[in-house]
Structure 1
C-alpha cells in the first residue's frame, strides 16, 4: 500500500530518513501519512481505480445513495481501496468535494490500531474547511459503519447540510457524519486541526500527523522515533492511556 518513496511527504528530514531506513517502513507510513493523499475534485472510485466524475453524470451516480462526510482518510483512494476491495465490494463509490462553514477537521482523542490519530468534525465559528462526501448505497453504508467501529470509536449521525457547499452545487439537506466517541479535546483543553486539510480562518492549532504523534510521545516521556508508533500498535493499553486527557503528570 505504501512504499519507502512515500516518506518524501514527511517534511521533517531526520524523521523521514529514519523511516526510509526502517525495516517496517510501510507500517510506519500508514500511521504517519494519515489522512493520505486525495483528489481535490469529484471522482468515482471503481474497483481500485479513480475515474473522473463529470457534473453531467452526477445525478445518475448519486441517485438513491446516502451522502456521508469523509473528514479523514475515507476521502482517500488508498483507504477506499482498503475498505471496498473486490470481490466483495464491486459497486462504485462516488466522492464529491466542497467546503463546510463554521466547522474544522480536528484530531480525535483516540488512536487507531495502526498508530494514527484519526479525524473528527468540530464546530469552529468562522472557519471554512475543505471536505469530501462519499455517496454510499445501503450495503456500503453498513460496511462503512463496521470499518469505523460504530459505536465503539465513532457514532453515526446525520447533521444539517446547510453549511455544506459542494463544488458541484448539489444541495444536501442532511449529511451523515462519524463523530468520535472520545471527543477531540486533549490536555489543557487543546484541540488540534489536521494541517493537511485546507481551511480558512482556522481557530485551532494545525499539526501534521507526525507532529501530532510527536506531541503524544512528548506527553508519554518518550523520544520521537518511528519505533514509538510500532510500540503503540502492539500495546492497546498504552494507546488508550495516551489519547485525550488520560495522561496526567506523574502517570
Structure 2
C-alpha cells in the first residue's frame, strides 16, 4: 500500500512552527486528512459539514493537523480542490502573532484559480474559528458566507456549490501601490519587499525576513504596532468582501 503519510507527501510542516514557509505546502489533489495521513477521498460534497474556502495555511495539511491536535480533535477532515471564480488571495493588513503576514481573500470578478474547500464538522469549525480570532470583537478575521452569485466554486465532478465560508480580514488587505489589492507571493518575498519599502517597519522588525519572524513571534504588542503601521503608511485597501462580514459573532 502506498505511503500516504504527510511526511512522505511533503505536507507535514506547519507554518505555525516555520513561519517563513507560510502558507505551507498544499496537496496536489483532494484528500481526506486523517491523523498524519492524507487518504483518498470517496466523495467531494459533504452536506453534513460546513464548506470553508481556504486561501492560506488552512489549505496546508500540516497546519490543519497542528490546529486540531491542540484541541484533541482526531476526526477526519475532507479537503477538496476546487476551481474558484471571483476570488484572489491577498495579503492581510495585520502582522500575525505567529510571525508571518497571512493571507486574506479579495473580490476579483472573473478571476479563476484553484483553491481548496475544507469541509468541517462542528468541532473542527470551532477550532478553525478560534484560530482566526472568531468571534472575538478584537479578532483579525470574520467568517463570511460568500454566495455563488459573487463567487463560483466548481468541484472536479462538475458540482457548483451554493457558496462557502471564508475568513475575511477585518483590517482590509495590503494594496500594490495603485490601490488595488496585492496578491500574496509567499512569506519570504513578501516580507523582503515590505521591509525594503518601509524604514519604520525595519525599525520595528529588523532588516531580514528571519528577524521579522523572530521579533513578531516574541512580542504580541509589536505585532499590533506593525498592524497600525500598515494603516499609518497608507498601505491598506478594502478587500471588496466587507459587506459579507457579520456585524457580530460569526
Indicate yes or no: 2:94 matched with 1:126: no
Deviation at 1:186, TM superposition (A): 4.5
CA distance in 2, matches of 1:165, 1:113: 34
What is the aligned partner in structure 2 of residue 36 from structure 1? 24
CA distance in 2, matches of 1:83, 1:208: 21
Distance 1:91 1:192, change over 3 A: same
Distance 1:86 1:177, change over 3 A: closer
1:245 pairs with one of 230, 234, 238: 230
1:155–1:181 Cα contact (<8 Å) kept: yes
2:82–2:154 Cα contact (<8 Å) kept: yes
Deviation at 1:86, TM superposition (A): 8.0
TM-score by length of 1: 0.74
Per-residue CA deviation, residues 88-136 of structure 1 (Å, 9 max, x unaligned), is 2121100101121122011111121121111111011232121100111
Deviation at 1:78, TM superposition (A): 0.6
Indicate yes or no: 2:145 matched with 1:158: yes
Where has structure 1 moved over 6 Å in runs of 4 or more?
A: 26-29
CA distance in 1, matches of 2:67, 2:59: 11
Indicate yes or no: 2:37 matched with 1:49: yes
Q: Which runs of 5+ in 2 are unaligned?
A: 1-6, 235-250
TM-score by length of 2: 0.75
CA distance in 1, matches of 2:78, 2:90: 24
Q: Which runs of 5+ in 1 are unaligned?
A: 7-25, 195-206
1:82 pairs with one of 42, 66, 76: 66
SS at match of 1:131: strand
CA distance in 2, matches of 1:45, 1:107: 26
CA distance in 1, matches of 2:16, 2:32: 29
Q: Where do 1:196-235 residues align within 5 Å? A: 207-218=185-196, 219=198, 220-221=201-202, 222-235=206-219
1:176 pairs with one of 165, 173, 189: 165
Query: Aligned-residue CA RMSD in angstroms?
Result: 2.7
1:28–1:226 Cα contact (<8 Å) kept: no
Deviation at 1:30, TM superposition (A): 1.6
SS at match of 2:174: coil
Q: Where do 1:180-191 residues align within 5 Å? A: 180-186=169-175, 188=177, 189=179, 191=181
Distance 1:102 1:70, change over 3 A: same
SS at match of 2:100: coil
SS at match of 2:164: strand
